Amino acid sequence: MRAASSLGWRFFQLHGSTEAAFPSEEKAKELAMGLDEKAALAEILLNLQAFFALNNDMRKASEQSRAVVPLLAAYSLKRPCPKRGFRSISDGMTAGRA
């Protein structure tokens, strides 16, 4: 699953086209859904959102966005942000402000 997603991203970097990346990302999405890997699924959905936005398909990009919101909300409440130790991503955004 992670290999398929990484491969899709590498295709995009190599060719500069999202068309080569879509099949790998879609396969990774199916695998993540089948294995109930919510963190991996959120990452894949964000990649797909970016690819759809780059293709000017805002309808599909917003579908990915709506699908990822509950996954990110549940994930950020359960685990600390890896590099900073905050409880959620929003805590890290306000930490540097006075």
Please write the tens of the pLDDT for every residue from 62-81. 999 899 888 877 766 555 55
Pair 36, 55: CB distance under 8 Å: no
Report the pLDDT averaged over residues 48-55: 90
Per-residue pLDDT, 63? 92
pTM equals: 0.66
Number of domains composing the chain: 1
CA distance 35 to 55: 29
State which residues form the domain around 68: 2-94
